[in-house]
Amino acid sequence: MAAPAPNTQQEMRRRNLARVLHAVADGGPRSRAAVAARIGLTRTAVSTLVDELLGAGLLVELGPGRSGAVGRPGTALALSDRGPCGIGAEIGVDHLAVCAVDLRGEVRARTAMDAANRDSDPGPVLGRLASLVEEVADEARGLGLRPAGLAVAVPGLVARGTTTVVQAPNLGWTDLDLAPHLAGNALGTGALTGSGTAVCSIDNEANLGALAELWLGGHTPPSGDFVHVSAEIGIGAAIVVDGELLRGTRGFAGELGHVPVRPEGRPCACGGIGCLEQYAGEEAVLRAAGLDPRATAAEHPGPGARIDLLATRAGEGDRAVLGALAEAGSALGTALTGAVNLLDPQTVVLGGALARLAPWLLPSLEHELGRRLAGPPPVSVSRLGPDGPLLGAAHSVVRAVLDDPLAHRA
């Protein structure tokens, strides 16, 4: 059945305000008349809505517009570069990062630090993250922006609709509700915005990376059906159907890293057997290349350092590394064969560390798809690099503002 109609005038107004903001966000600066034409409301109705959004500091007027239409040129409307902003944060195994993105989608402030978060005590890690959030929020305020909320990307499973990290194997965190940690320090939403209306969410990094690709990447198909595969230390994926993330009942969908690819192969830390991660995860690739994962991590600490090492050696023609990456690509191809059979996506996008290593993974990956599937989907490589999850986090806050502007007025 069709979705229920909005029941109240207030709800209708909220929707129409969001439609006006999205019309400006999707098309760049445009006149009231152009907005009215795009969303199918009268110019009078749009003018009233626009006045409210100007008053709330979400839209600004840029002076005579560039609409090209006949008659008096309209004033062009644009999203404000001084209104609400989204704060995105990322807890990586080797680093912490925070950024602020304005309504126009531009990164206005960012900071990051190397960190040793493997098997860590969550309190101090979240304390350090809180300092970085405050630093970025202060910088944003100095630019006239108002932090409207915080979204945090974590390398682990997050229970759907909650702030609980059920399992983050590389951090060593289990069944940890981040909310008390957030409330107890500067991450608290009150401290962040000075109001009670802030968005605060925790999500899996692979989910946020896929959303960033959908919103910013430029590689996703018009159908909005794709599988996004990313890797940092582990391997994650996210399934996007009709432009929406498929989250699963518990919020655990997209665990491509634990699809069996050698069903009677190596035991996996997840308790499974022959999981993809045992053949294409960072540690597996280092080991297959003849490198000791722990020693290499000690020698090359920091985010992306081992990936850089692998890319450098592969670029130099190191046979052991090339062989290890070919094997990883093949294992990825086998796991993706299963995913393609089940989901029939229009494309597959490789992001994160996989994007960096794509030149050496793709040949065996595509060979595997080709020998197993009659019509394999195209595989493309993300241009967002390792920033995907961080940008996805900040943009998720910005989109929440665009979707419900009344909750985020000054």
Residue ranges binding its own copies (CB under 8 A): 1-3, 5-7, 12, 15, 18-19, 22, 40, 221, 223, 225, 237, 239, 241, 246-256, 258-263, 270-273, 334-335, 337-339, 341-346, 371-374, 403
Cα separation, 232 vs 243, whole angstroms: 24
Count of residues making up the chain: 410
SS3 at position 141? helix
The total of other beta-carbon atoms located within 10 Å of residue 27's CB is 11
Closest contact distance (angstroms) between CB of 226 and its own copies is 9
Nearer to its own copies, 40 or 196 (CB): 40
Closest contact distance (angstroms) between CB of 6 and its own copies is 6
Helices assigned H by DSSP within 60-154 = 122-142
Nearer to its own copies, 60 or 157 (CB): 157
Closest contact distance (angstroms) between CB of 86 and its own copies is 17
Cα separation, 142 vs 149, whole angstroms: 17
Nearer to its own copies, 234 or 304 (CB): 234
Strand order, beta sheet including 95-102 = 107-114, 95-102, 84-91, 146-154, 199-204
Nearer to its own copies, 56 or 159 (CB): 159
Closest contact distance (angstroms) between CB of 361 and its own copies is 17
Nearer to its own copies, 196 or 271 (CB): 271
Nearer to its own copies, 251 or 351 (CB): 251
Strands 157-158 and 226-231: unpaired
Nearer to its own copies, 16 or 163 (CB): 16
Smallest CA-to-CA distance from 393 within 186, 189, 216, 193 is with 216
C-alpha distances in Å from residue 195, one per residue of 47, 198, 403: 29, 7, 19
Closest contact distance (angstroms) between CB of 279 and its own copies is 11
Cα separation, 191 vs 170, whole angstroms: 30
Please report the DSSP string for 352-383 in residue order: THHHHHHHHHHHHHHHHHHHH-SSPPPEEE-S
Nearer to its own copies, 97 or 256 (CB): 256
Cα separation, 255 vs 248, whole angstroms: 10
Place of tokens 């630090």: 113
Four-CA torsion 152, 155, 159, 162, nearest 10 degrees: -10
Closest contact distance (angstroms) between CB of 354 and its own copies is 17
Closest contact distance (angstroms) between CB of 260 and its own copies is 6
Nearer to its own copies, 136 or 239 (CB): 239
Cα separation, 178 vs 184, whole angstroms: 10
Surface-to-core class of residue 40, CB atoms within 10 Å of its CB (0-12 exposed, 13-18 middle, 19+ buried): exposed
Q: Which residues pair with 348 in a beta bridge?
A: 227, 379
Q: Do residues 293 and 283 touch, judged by C-beta distance below 8 A? A: yes
Closest contact distance (angstroms) between CB of 16 and its own copies is 9
Please report the DSSP string for 5-17 in residue order: PP-SHHHHHHHHH
Closest contact distance (angstroms) between CB of 310 and its own copies is 24
Nearer to its own copies, 132 or 398 (CB): 398
Closest contact distance (angstroms) between CB of 374 and its own copies is 5
Two structure tokens written together for 294: 């722990």
